[in-house]
Amino acid sequence: MMKRDFGVFHVALKVLLRKGNEVLFLRTSDVGRLDLPGGRIDNIEMQTPLEKIIAREIGEEIGPTVKYKLSKPVFQFRRYVPARKIYNFLTVYEAVFLSGRIRLSSEHTSYHWINPSVSRLSVKDFYNKEEYSALMRYFKTHA
């Protein structure tokens, strides 16, 4: 039996970027799942304000010209990363898209502005059930 201890996670920050009734989803290049823009906190960012880390990730993943108005954290979930053999603990912030041209990094193959009240998203579109459930709970209360 494994001795109980504290869980060890990588921490990631994601952005639920809204444009009207639509939300920006990215298609991952590894397994083709839907993802939100954002990513892990780097080892040199332990004292960096979270908003600056989010800005770096947004610039890297969807381009440096994208402007947005960041709001508050709205939900969290966990995601296992087999290549690193560790879980990510992800916090998702709301934001409103203001302007800019989306230019994807190599981590994603495409992007889609999706209206969640019209589109039929399913658990298989995402990495796991916890992630899908967190998004669906959010969309139910923020339609």
Average pLDDT, stretch 63-77? 98
Collapsing DSSP states into helix, strand and coil, what is residue 59? helix
Measured CA to CA in angstroms, residue 35 lies from 11, 47, 79 at distances of 16, 26, 11
Q: How far is CA 90 from the centre of its chain?
A: 7
User: 4-8: which pairs have CB atoms within 8 A and are 24 or more residues apart?
Assistant: 7/87, 8/86
pLDDT digits (tens, 9 = 90+) for 88-110: 999 999 999 999 999 999 999 99
pLDDT band at 36 (very low <50, low <70, confident <90, very high): very high
| Helix, strand or coil, per DSSP, at residue 60 | helix
Quote the percentage of the chain above a pLDDT of 90.
96
Structure tokens at 14: 């994601």
- Pairing type for strands 67-81 and 86-99 reads antiparallel
